[in-house]
Amino acid sequence: MKILVNELEKVQGQRQQLEGPVITKGIKYPHLQFENFTFMGQAQKIAELVDVAGDLSGAIKTGCSRCATPTTYDFSTSFSEQFSDQIEQVDDDEDEAESEIIPYQGVEIDLTPYFRQTILLDMPQIYLCSDTCKGLCPTCGTNWNEQTCSCNNERIDPRLADLALFFKKDKE
């Protein structure tokens, strides 16, 4: 998605509605599939500053991190960036987070790389099919959401194995 700065200059100070698809082809995650990503927001030019704000949303298809069942995650996040073609020196005392103005050149601003960056930074690291997902049996691979197994999955820390024997002798 691109913004034509000269169009914003014509309506200086007024917000222009932006809506459209977001190109996610540049995001390379082999186990994730990005679908139907859109941006709905506004752009405004005030003096030399172009302010863009809105919401990014779409669907991420992948396998559940616990049970590997195919799942779709509904992704939604806010987007806010400021651009300027005349970057001034920023005081060292000023908070860097507040002074992150992105430079641009020419008559248009391509928002696609900034959309991708926001998606990558805000997407979750773990995807679950449900909050109550039980996962897979580490011994036999049975999906515990669908059925149970008779495997003994009691884990004993090898450093404490002798302590378990000590208590076993006490019971006898």
Predicted confidence band at 74 (pLDDT cuts at 50, 70, 90)?
A: very high
Task: Name the β-bridge partners of 52.
Answer: 43, 81
Res 64: pLDDT: 92
Say what the pLDDT of residue 170 is: 60
Average pLDDT, the chain: 83
Tokens 């990503």, residue located: 37
- Identify the pLDDT of residue 27: 81
DSSP letters, 101-125, are EEE--SSEEE-HHHHHHHHHHHS-S
- Which two structure tokens, joined as six digits, stand for 63? 């396998």
Buried b (16+ CB within 10 A) or exposed e, 34-72: beebebebebbbeeeebbbebebebebebebebbeeebe
Residue 145: which of 135, 154, 153, 137 has the closest Cα?
Answer: 135
pLDDT digits (tens, 9 = 90+) for 15-41: 888 888 888 887 888 888 898 999 999
Question: Average of pLDDT values for 114-142?
Answer: 89
Q: Quick one: tokens of 36?
A: 């139907």
User: Across the chain, how many H-helices and E-strands are there?
Assistant: 3, 7
pLDDT of residue 54: 93
User: Which pLDDT band holds residue 7 (cuts at 50, 70, 90)?
Assistant: confident
Q: What is the mean pLDDT of residues 89-108?
A: 65
Residue carrying the six token digits 């172009």: 50
| Res 39: pLDDT | 92
**pLDDT above 60: residue 165:** yes
The reported pLDDT for the residue numbered 128 is: 92
Dihedral Cα 82, 86, 90, 96, nearest 10 deg: 20
Q: Nearest-5° angle of CA 21, CA 28, CA 20?
A: 5
Look up tokens 């194995």; give the residue. Answer: 161
The share of the chain scoring above pLDDT 70, in percent, equals 90
